[in-house]
Amino acid sequence: MRSDRNLATFVLAAVAVALTLTLSAGCQRSMAKSSVVDTYPDAAGELDYWDKVATRRAVTNNDALHGLLLTADNASPATWEERLAAARDHGWIGANDTLDANATATMGTVAVAACDILHIKGGLTMRVFGPSPRYCVKELVYLEMIPSRSDNQSLSGLEFIDVISRIEDRRNVAAAAPAGQ
Amino acid sequence: MTNMTNMTNMTKHTIAIARRLAIALLLATPVVTSAQDKAADAKPADAAPAPAAEAAPEAPAAEAAPPKLAPRDADDIADAAARLGAIAKDAAQPLAEGEIKVLSAVVMAVEGRAQWRQDENAAWKDAAVDDMLKPEALIRTGRESTLALRVGLNATVFVDRNSRVKLPQIVQAGSTLSTKMQIYRGRADIKVDKVGLTNDFSVVTPSTTLAVRGTGFSCDVGALFGTRTIGARTNLMRAIEARYFVRSDRFFLSGNATSDGVYRSPAVNELGRSFGPPPLIGQIMQGDRTLTSTGSFLRDPMARPPEGRDEITIQRSIDVKAQRPSFFRFPNGDGGGGVLTDGGN
């Protein structure tokens, strides 16, 4: 009947709109109110920074870049824009990629930085197409530095600190190894 | 005919010997080069064939091997470790039944940024060697930072990078040493020594509790893989213990004895003030100035001191010349007494 057809059409349209709204919202990263580095940006407060990051359920891009730059360069710039520029200089973030400072960081972003810090060249795909988040995560999983994760997953503060610790451990082992190994 | 055959055989034999010797010399050239007499004396007709031919070609001069500890250095470290162990055992005496004694932890080594505080309300302090931590102390380390502690009478703890640990309990109850350690995150190596008392060392992590009876292990607490236990870095901890112990030798002063940063032992310090810092021949340390050898004075008191020496050396040379037969007179730095001549008068 015509009324039944209209009802079915209406229901289908409503479901489609709901799905569209849900998926579009789900693709956005969660946002935090602030980052820990906003409170402890300098070297004097570094230990407080790590302590506070450990309490966070999800690390923000700002906190992640701060910690990664400290690990890589032993220093981190004072502002978010400078950290983003430094990360681009390192090749961790594409020149055209945009990141929100308080959006949750992804495992992929952290993995790209980890591979750069540790000079991990990866396999064929990484060497041919460059260090992409997906394959950097796969590489770290292969090296047993992280458990099986996807590159879009966020990571908690404790997980982030654990990754940083493993980067340092691996770097120290590599530094202690005889030349040529 | 027989003579001809004999001569032919002898010639063949000689040629064989010569060939073997030539090969041996070529192979052994790096070794023989340094002993040129052997090469000059080696004559194909006279040298014994078997030893030369069978001489194993020696390898070229060995590449520089990693420096090894001189026996004296190795003995010092072993002695220091043994003495430390003996002191630890002597100190560990059982208490009366029911008696409880609260112990503490001392910081033995710090690397990088490490802080501690006595409780949640206290301010964080940068850790330094010899800091005493009482039970309930919290410790945290930063990147590339470590902290080594001697906990109580029987345990050594090595707190590694990015760690946060707490020492809720360090007591001796009767004949039992009870220690608790809480690891919130990071890695800590624990070595528990057998000192003649019962060990009750437990490690608490967010997911598990581990008991240590008289052994060592490393506990790594992380959010990615949970709690992992691996082997302790025992050699590293022993080296830290030995270094701390050797550095911490105590000296008792009395009367006018003195001890300073250069010569901590009052006996050696007094020797330096009376006769000059040992060794008498060789480099002499005068505060932050290094004077070169004054050995020439002892050999020839009339010798002039080298150019460019400071007043102390010049004064000593004058004194030496004036007291020619007795050249053991060295004025004290402060102008006091301390003159000693030959014969000890």
Query: DSSP readout, B40-107?
Result: HH--TTTS-HHHHHHPPPPPSSPPPPPP---HHHHHHHHHHHHHHHHHHHHH--PPPTT-EEE--EEE
Q: Is the pLDDT of residue B251 over 70?
A: no
Once rounded to an integer, what is the mean pLDDT over residues B74-101? 73
Distance from CA of A93 to the nearest CA of B (A): 24
Q: Could you tell me if A26 and A47 lie in one domain?
A: no
Q: Is the pLDDT at B242 greater than 50, yes or no?
A: yes
Residues of B with Cβ-Cβ distance to A168 under 8 angstroms = 143-144, 161-162
Which chain B residues are Cβ-neighbours of A59 within 8 angstroms? none
Q: What is the pLDDT of residues A120-162, one digit of tens each?
A: 998 899 999 899 999 999 999 999 999 999 999 999 999 999 9
B135 interfaces chain A, CB cutoff of 8 Å: no
What percentage of residues in chain A have a pLDDT greater than 90?
A: 69
> Is position A79 within any domain?
yes
Q: Which residues of A touch B187 (CB under 8 A)?
A: 165
Can you tell me the ipTM of this complex? 0.82
At A22-46, the pLDDT tens digits run 555 556 788 888 999 999 999 999 9
- Contact present, A84 and A93 (Cβ < 8 Å): yes
| pLDDT tens figures, B61-79 | 445 555 554 545 556 666 7
Q: Which of A54-58, B114-118, B327-331 has the lowest mean pLDDT?
A: B327-331
For residue A165, the chain B residues in CB contact (below 8 A) are 161-162, 186-187, 222
Q: Is the pLDDT of residue A7 over 80?
A: yes
Q: Does A161 touch chain B (CB under 8 A)?
A: yes
pLDDT of B19 higher than 70: no
- Is position A41 within any domain? yes
Same domain, A23 and A103: no
Q: Is A47 on the interface with B (CB under 8 A)?
A: yes
**Of the segments A2-6, B120-124, B246-250, B318-322, which one has the largest average pLDDT value?**
B120-124
- Over chain A, what is the mean pLDDT? 89
* Tokens read off for B325: 């037969």
Q: Is residue A181, in this structure, part of any structural domain at all?
A: no
A111 touches chain B (CB under 8 A): no
Output A73 or B261, whichever has higher pLDDT.
A73
Chain-chain contact of A47 with B144 (C-beta, under 8 angstroms):
no
Please answer yes or no on whether A146 and B113 come within 8 Å at the CB atom.
no
Q: Going along chain B, which residue ranges are E strands? A: 100-102, 105-111, 114-117, 125-126, 132-133, 137-141, 146-151, 155-159, 164-173, 176-192, 198-204, 209-212, 216-222, 226-230, 284-286, 289-291
Which of B224, B225, B227, B236 best tests the A interface by mutation, with the highest count of A CBs <10 A? Answer: B224
Q: How far is A111 from chain B (nearest CA, A)?
A: 14
> B322 vs B187, which has greater pLDDT?
B187
Please determine, for residue B309, whether its predicted confidence score (pLDDT) is greater than 60. no
At B224, the pLDDT band (50, 70, 90 cuts) reads very high
Mean pLDDT of the B281-301 span: 38
Report which listed range, A62-76, B48-62, B305-319, is most confident: A62-76
Minimal Cα distance from B225: which residue of A?
Answer: A147
Q: Return the domain boundaries, chain B.
A: 2-54, 91-244, 266-344
| Interchain CB contact of B252 with A (< 8 Å) | no
Token look-up 């008289």 returns B214
Residue in chain A closest to B165 (alpha carbons) equals: A51
* Inter-residue contact B338 to B273 (CB < 8 Å): yes
CB-count burial class (<10 Å; 0-12, 13-18, 19+) for B196: middle
> Can you tell me the distance from the alpha carbon of A66 to that of A98, in angstroms, rounded to the nearest whole number?
17
Residues of chain B with pLDDT > 90, as a percent, come to 31
- Which residue of B lies nearest to A72 if distances are taken between CA atoms? B143
Contact: A165, B186; criterion CB under 8 Å? yes
What pLDDT, on a 0 to 100 scale, did the predictor assign at position B341?
34
Q: A98 and A54, same structural domain?
A: yes
Residue B39 has a pLDDT of 43
User: What are the CA-CA distances from residue B185 to residues A32, A107, B36, B51, B251 (Å)?
Assistant: 24, 20, 67, 68, 40
Per cent of chain B over pLDDT 70 is 47
Say which range, A9-23, B145-159, B229-243, B329-343, has the weakest mean pLDDT.
B329-343
| Torsions phi, psi for B215 (to 5 deg) | -150, -160
Which of A147, A168, A169 is closest, CB to CB, to B224? A147
Q: How far is A126 from chain B (nearest CA, A)?
A: 24
**Is there a cis peptide before residue B279, judged by omega within 30 degrees of 0?**
yes
Partners of residue B224 in chain A, C-beta under 8 Å:
146-147, 159, 162-163, 166
A46, A50, A159: residue with CB nearest B224: A159
pLDDT in tens, A86-101: 999 999 999 888 899 9
| Nearest residue of B to residue A45, measured between CA atoms | B142
In A, minimum Cα distance to B222 occurs at: A162
Structure token pair of residue A113? 């930085």
Q: Say whether residue B233 is in contact with chain A using an 8 A CB cutoff.
A: no
The pLDDT, as a whole number, for residue A26 is: 54
Q: How many CB pairs under 8 A join A and B?
A: 52
CB-based contact (8 Å) between B166 and chain A? no
Helix, strand, coil fractions of chain B, as percent rounded to 5: 30, 25, 45
Q: Check residue B311 and give its pLDDT.
A: 40
> What is the Cα–Cα distance from A100 to B61, expressed in whole angstroms?
63
Domain boundaries, position A21: 1-30
pLDDT at A27: 61
Please state, rounded to an integer, the average pLDDT across all residues of chain B. 69
pLDDT band at B53 (very low <50, low <70, confident <90, very high): very low
Rg (CA), chain B: 34
CA-based nearest distance A114→chain B, Å? 15
Mean pLDDT confidence for B152-175: 94
Alpha-carbon gap: A91 to the closest alpha carbon of chain B (Å): 23
CATH topology of domain B91-244: Jelly Rolls (2.60.120)
Cβ pair B82, B89 in contact under 8 A: no
pLDDT digits (tens, 9 = 90+) for B164-178: 999 999 999 999 999
A57 falls in which pLDDT band (50, 70, 90)? very high
Query: Phi and psi at residue B169, in whole multiples of 5°?
Result: -145, 130
Residue A98, in any domain of the structure? yes
Run of H or E including B316: helix B311-322
What is the C-alpha separation between B279 and B86, in angstroms, rounded?
Answer: 32
A69/A125 same-domain check? yes
* Residues comprising chain A, all counted: 181
DSSP-assigned beta bridge partners for residue B110: B147
Based on the structure, what is the number of domains in chain A? 2
pLDDT at B24 over 70: no
Q: How confident is the model at residue B290 (pLDDT cuts 50, 70, 90)?
A: very low
Same domain, A26 and A72: no
Residues A136 and B169: their CA atoms lie apart, in Å, by 43
Alpha-carbon distance B58 to nearest alpha carbon in chain A (angstroms): 27
